[in-house]
A = this chain, B = another copy of it.
Amino acid sequence: MARGDRREELLDAAEGVIEEEGVAGLTIDRVAARAGVAKGTVYLYFASKEQLVGALKGRCLEQMTGMVVAALADLESGDWWGTADAVVEAVVDFDLSHRWVIAVMATESGDEESKAVYGEATQQMIGLLEAALRQGAVEGVFEVDDPETTARLLYFALEGTLHHTILYEPEVDRERLVTAAQTLIHRALGDA
């Protein structure tokens, strides 16, 4: 088995454990058991539990970024608002389908390195949105004074709302979430 595969398997196992046992139930023991390997083996791929969690966060953000990149490809069609709405939908669905990992994202991870990794990944995500905003402005769809800050704001608005909802409101109403988020963006950017 390729080294990378085993690593991915372990991360998959970790997600599975969180799904079944909650964030507090994430132990190396369970990850190993779920992946069908010995406990020691986990340490062959991750130096510590903290690094495993960091990797989990990183991978999650990467996947999300990938989805957004894909969704933003439609921007070429010229339908900015339609594309934006689709991106929102994609993000909501991603979070909902990764709801258990989402809980980890909100977790402290003392490890400075992990924090940095997470910070950079977030920044990349925001950069994507910023670019989209600039393009919308260039195309005359709307006006933005400070695309960077606006992108940050919108990203965290969306994620903040999603995180809270996922963590504290068990029965999430997807449609309502999507509509609300889309509305926020339309309003914030001044869609007439």
Using CB atoms and an 8 Å cutoff, list the residues of chain A in contact with chain B.
22-24, 103, 106-108, 110, 115, 118-119, 122, 146, 149-150, 152-154, 156-161, 163-164, 167-169, 176, 179-181, 183-184, 187-190
Contacts and interface: CB of A to CB of B under 8 A. Distances in A.
A154 B154 CA distance: 10
Copies of this subunit: 4
- What 4 pairs across the A-B complex have the smallest Cβ distances? A160-B160, A157-B157, A156-B161, A106-B106
A100 to B, nearest CB: 11
Contact of A153 (B110, B149, B183): B183
Contacts of A163: 106, 160
Contacts of A156: 157, 160-161, 164
Grouping DSSP codes into helix (H, G, I), strand (E, B) and loop, the A interface class, with mixed when no group exceeds half, is helix
B161 A161 contact: no
Contacts of A158: 160
A169 B154 CA distance: 17
A108 B103 contact: yes
A171 to B, nearest CB: 12
Nearest to A144: B187
Contacts of A110: 22, 24
Nearest to A160: B160
